[in-house]
Structure 1
Amino acid sequence: MASGAVSNALPAAGTNDVSLEEPKKMTREDWRKKKELEEQRKLGNAPAEVDEEGKDINPHIPQYISSVPWYIDPSKRPTLKHQRPQPEKQKQYNSSGDWYKRGVQEHAVATRYRKGACENCGALTHKKKDCMERPRKVGAKYTGMNIAPDEHVQPQLMFDYDGKRDRWNGYNPEEHMKIVEEYSKVDLAKRTLKAQKLQEELASGKLEQVNSPRHPWGEEESNSQTERDHNSEDEDEDKYADDIDMPGQNFDSKRRITVRNLRIREDIAKYLRNLDPNSAYYDPKTRAMRENPYANTGKNPDEVGYAGDNFVRYTGDTISMAQTQLFAWEAYDKGSEVHLQADPTKLELLYKSFKVKKEDFKAQQKESILEKYGGQEHLDAPPAELLLAQTEDYVEYSRHGTVIKGQEKAIACSKYEEDVKINNHTCIWGSYWKEGKWGYKCCHSFVKYSYCTGEAGKEIANTEASLMEEQPEEEEHMTKPKTLMEVGCFPFSVRQILFNILATKFCRAIISLKITRLYY
């Protein structure tokens, strides 16, 4: 019995596991059908196999590549998943923006010694033999005082081929602003020193003598020292003019003329205006971008600096020329010997006369229709701005011209429904407040989805309130103890009477409501 139980339990335990049975041997007929199907798939007469993701499997892939080993997938489903990289075996690399944090200080300091920390300083990130602090006479392990903060543990970064060779990884562009500020301060100091020297020379009188050299015949020298002093701010630039070697530019320090070739390099290139790959196509051979790169951004073509090369086709006389060409084709179809390229002057005169005749014909047709049917007064109506230049806004002004009434701030609408009256109530929920509870003002009910009882509900609520107020006073003046019958009899009888009154009035209200519905 025991052996039978074990043998019966083994298959049950292995039902959830992968079956390790070898594939069955195919018959000759099945093998022939399989080969014929493969040939049909290669010729394109039969549909290709589809894997579990719905992708077609190329029928020209060899069998030793496409077949799945029986110990991986015993179901023998067609797939190429076993040939693709497995995610669990791929190495995970850090992104190019990750880098070690420099100058990080941990400000969180422990107040007591922690187990496993340094016995000397109390930090948890190193041991006593690796401690860089001065050895204490009594360590932090025994004193529990002056525990040093933990050092920042740098992350273990692992980059791929490009990340290892990225020279700018970890560079902070804000550090360059320090250099810019330093050079700006040096430039400001130079200008201040130069202005101070000019003031000193002007005060001593040396500058006037130097700035007024004259020729022997009495005329002042045209290229005087004054012009050179005005250009003294550019002396530093002239010193390094010989070192300038920029492609496409020739620099002359005397004439200060820059000869530019090709386009101005400060302009944005066409292919950099919109980096979306689905935007306008840029042809690198002709350097043309015919479509508008800002078409899908919602910008107006009149507001952008560049709207594509096709805008040239719709500017100037392009549209009028297209209309003239269309007129030439229509006139040629009707028998007129005109051509835009062969005789443009004749076509232009003919087109002008055609437009004049067309306008005269439209004017005569309009006049004849108005004479026959009338309606000239509707065409001479004032513009809509004058017709609708009125408003229903009521504003009151004082004798001094100030607004007294009419410009009150509009009340903001609530996101909840307003003035909703349910269950025959005449007031909204929240119109009554008493003892920290909201209710209906029409019946003094504190239940939101209750039916309205009208004045009867108010009387009942007031009666109950008065009873609740009188009950403590009676208990204070009570001298003789009452029996249980005497205590419970009065409230019970009053409640029964009030309940009967409420029930009868409620039934009358329902009956009257049904009668009105039947009549209307």
Structure 2
Amino acid sequence: MSFQLNMPPSAIGRLARSEQSVGDGDNKKQSREDWKKMKELEEARKAGTAPAMQDEEGKDINPHIPQYIMQAPWYFGANTPTLRHQRQQEEMLKHYSGLNTQMKKGFKEGPVATKYRKGACENCGAMTHKKKDCLERPRKIGAKFTGDMIAPDEVIPDELDYDFEGKRDIWNGFDPREHQRKLQEEYNKLEEAKQAMKEAAVEEDFLMKQAIVEKKDSEADDEDKYAEDMDMPGQKFETKQRITVRNLRIREDTAKYLLNLDLNSAYYDPKTRSMRENPLNGTNKEHLLFSGDAEEFAKKQLFAWEAYEKGTEAHLQADPTKLELLHREFQQRRENFKQTAKDSVLNRYGGQEHLEAPPKQLLLAQTEDYVEYSRHGTVIKGQEKARVKSRYEEDVYPSNHTSVWGSYWKDGQWGYNCCHSLIKESYCTGEAGIKAQQESSNMLMIAGNHHAAAKSDVQNQSDGDEALEAEEKHQKRMSKLMAMDERKRPYNSMYEVRAPTEEEMEAFRMKRALEEDPMAAFLSK
């Protein structure tokens, strides 16, 4: 690998003409010896015996790099060995603003001018805008004529060009100190409100005690005195203990973005902590309050409060199992007490018959139940259909039978189960009829077997005769084919795919000519 100048033909011509004018007029070309020395130098550099070629920055160039990679194009204008054309050019790189680079807003530029400058705003005297774009209050006499109170120049920030991450940085320009300042202001307001509430409560307590001392009334616990305006559900509290405003979240508190976990629901912006849309669209607040076990939950909460006021430690959230057992026991005892009181009143005064009210159909002589009847009076639609009854009379056994018709089934026919008779309205023969029917069926079975055996013998005899006839025809055809010329004989004319039957094999054995048989020659004549 060696460096060779790669120039356009016009530059090569100008260089040749300049060398001819400077030199003796001979066109110098690379000789064979020079080319051979150049190749030897390349081999030595690849072997490591000669120092590597260096670029314009003094860095070694790998001698194993191919020539077409190291050779710079003619339009690059490289006069020395270099690999700069293979690297990214600094002037071609696009520079982006950093993530921490922010646009300055509201800053004034430099010192304030003392007199009006040409081309400045006629109203305030700033050089960065004109009179129609001025945002200051319009002066009665502008700074152009008075030369007083010249406004400072605004800082015109450079246009920031962010990269992919910078364009999608939602916290760009966010100042946490400003956020902390807002939180501190809100906290100070809350503390001031708490202090005002405490002072008002102390003053109210003092006035109340003064009034009690003046009137000298009996001491009474005013439960509403220290209670809050609204009681949070599921919260255990002491009526005589002052409850102040707390910042703790209770377990029933659910974040707004957790009410609906559907991805297509309302969007929650974590930066501004805002949710513009309703996450529970299509449902009102009352529907959520009174859905599910809300009513049962309210009853249990009320029971827990009442039990706590009467000295029983019960809490819905802290010990729900204990509260559930107490509530069940309370319900059972209350029902038993009501039933006992009702029974005692009925036993003492009577009147049980008046509590048994007649049906609504008889009481009001009408009903709203829709019933549709057929032409025969049966119910078609409107209420539960009655069971389909049999058309035969029940518990009626004619002709000395002990079972009804249809209690026995055999060979697709109905009969009586008591005698296995398949004839309707026949006289019952009892067990004797069953035995006679079994014997007749056995006789029929034996006769059928004999008939089948005789039929099978006749069938076998006929099959054997047919096989003998077929074998004779086959031998005649075979002898006819063997008498024909071999070239005129059909190909595979006697071939069959299926296996021979027993009858065919027996016919073949009977018709086969045995060579050891002394009568074979006589039969062939």
Q: Common fold, TM-score beyond 0.5?
A: no
Q: What is the TM-score normalised by the length of structure 1?
A: 0.33
Indicate the structure (1 or 2) with the bigger Cα radius of gyration: 2
Q: What is the TM-score normalised by the length of structure 2?
A: 0.32
